[in-house]
Chains A and B, each alone.
Chain A
Amino acid sequence: MNSLDTSIVIWLNGLSGNIKIFDDLMRIVASDYLMPLVFSLGMFGLWFSGKTPAQRVMYQLTMLVGISALSISNVVVWLFNITLERPRPFVEHGDQLNLLFYPPTDPSFPANPVAVGFAAATAAWTINRKFGWWMFAAASLFGFSRLYAGVFYPSDIVGGAVVGIAIYGFTTYFRRFLEPMITSFVRLIRGLSAA
């Protein structure tokens, strides 16, 4: 498994350096700022997108669950990180990789940005399939760009995706333990004319 992981990242990263514009595009997509903002904006936009009061409440409750899932995903990824402490590909195979990104100092498994992206995408998908698929595509592209840049193994990306989706499911289930606080919070925001 490890050797397959290594072979894939070395092969994929080996494609870099041939088409500069593609490398530059991957550097921008892999940035810490673009895709995380896209996920946040997706959730922010959905909050205001409902066309009827009932649809709006459903969207907003789902977005609150999604935001909670993002936070919990970070904690779960951190727990995996400190337990497994898997080194980054450029640490183990630096001589065979062309690093397109700054060398992160935290462990590799699972991929935190992918977990966050998939948690947000799952939240969006549960209320709007079409938009949700676009969010999944964005999260996958984000993962691919980090893989191409040589900072994650493929199994880190898959692990991150699984963590993100699973945490969203867990958070949806967990919501029932916090009612009626969540619904009342949405009602409070509606009182401020923002929900």
Chain B
Amino acid sequence: MNTDPMVVRDLFAGHYFLFAFLASLGTLQIAVSNAGTRGLWLTPHAAMTRLLGIALILTAIAVFFLQPLWVDGPWAAGSVEADSLSRDWGKASWDELAGARNVNDIHGGLDGVKQTGWFSLAATLALAVSAIVGTVSVKILNVADKSSDVDVTDPNVGGLEGLKNRSYFANLPSSLRNFRNDIGGLWRDELGKADRWSVVRMLSRRGDSSK
């Protein structure tokens, strides 16, 4: 029996990352198919992209919760009733599968902070994969929406709006250019509108008065 929390944590981290990545990719596909953000679609069609998104989420849940059936871990005998420290190391049985993942973080489960870290990485990877595959769709399969009112040649269109008709990599330069051009004015405008107790506003006033 192996109950070293570090070993359990490494095992959980890998499994959780795969779970979060597949589920994030699925969620992203559903969201961008509804919003018409073609530059991030994994398939050329909205309905297919949405279905793929649902399938990815269901696969993620199934894989994560069924994995103890074929992967050794702290979920053999006693996984349902016992304290997570006193469990046997091995594969789970169908009877004890539902409780297999319920491992206390002090015994190697992932606490909230670690989950947040792994989820952030997984979501970023999901976005990167969507951007790369979406580029293939837009460039090679030419799935850009010709009826869209977004002008592909307009350099002022950037961000997710630009992705409605452009690939991520075609959209990035105009997004960055817009950011560089707009950020100064945006900062001044928002600072002007900010609450009088805004920390930034108070600091900038203190800076002005000390000059």
Question: What residues of chain A have their CB less than 8 Å away from a CB belonging to chain B?
Answer: 23-25, 27-28, 30-34, 36-37, 40-41, 44-51, 53, 56, 74, 99-105, 116, 176-181, 183-184, 187-188, 190-195
The contact string, 1 if C-beta is below 8 Å from chain A, for chain B 181-200, is: 01100110111011101111
Cβ contacts under 8 Å, A177 to chain B: 195, 197-199
Cβ contacts under 8 Å, A33 to chain B: 16, 19, 64, 101, 110, 115
18 additional A-B residue pairs with CB within 8 Å, beyond A48-B37, A100-B99, A187-B183:
A33-B16, A33-B19, A37-B23, A49-B35, A51-B36, A53-B161, A101-B102, A116-B112, A176-B197, A179-B200, A180-B191, A180-B194, A187-B186, A190-B160, A191-B158, A192-B176, A193-B162, A194-B127
In the bound assembly, the distance between CA atoms of A147 and B105 in angstroms comes to 20
Cβ contacts under 8 Å, A99 to chain B: 81
Check B199 against A178 for contact (C-beta < 8 Å).
yes
In the bound assembly, the distance between CA atoms of A193 and B163 in angstroms comes to 8
Interface size class of B (residues with CB under 8 A): 35 or more
Question: What residues of chain B have their CB less than 8 Å away from a CB belonging to chain A?
Answer: 16, 19-20, 23-24, 27-28, 30-32, 34-37, 39-40, 57, 61, 64-65, 80-81, 83-84, 97-99, 101-107, 109-110, 112, 115-116, 119, 123, 127, 131, 158-163, 168, 171-172, 175-176, 178-180, 182-183, 186-187, 189-191, 193-195, 197-200
Interface of A is mostly: helix
B123 to chain A, nearest CB (A): 5
Check A176 against B198 for contact (C-beta < 8 Å).
yes
Cβ contacts under 8 Å, A116 to chain B: 112
Cβ contacts under 8 Å, B39 to chain A: 193
In the bound assembly, the distance between CA atoms of A191 and B98 in angstroms comes to 44
Cβ contacts under 8 Å, B105 to chain A: 32
In the bound assembly, the distance between CA atoms of A45 and B112 in angstroms comes to 20
Check A56 against B179 for contact (C-beta < 8 Å).
no
Check B35 against A51 for contact (C-beta < 8 Å).
yes
Q: Which 4 A-B pairs have the closest CB atoms?
A: A191-B179, A180-B190, A24-B98, A190-B159
Known: A41-B23, A45-B27. A184 touches B186 (CB 8 A): yes
Check B160 against A56 for contact (C-beta < 8 Å).
yes
Known: A27-B80, A45-B30. A193 touches B172 (CB 8 A): yes
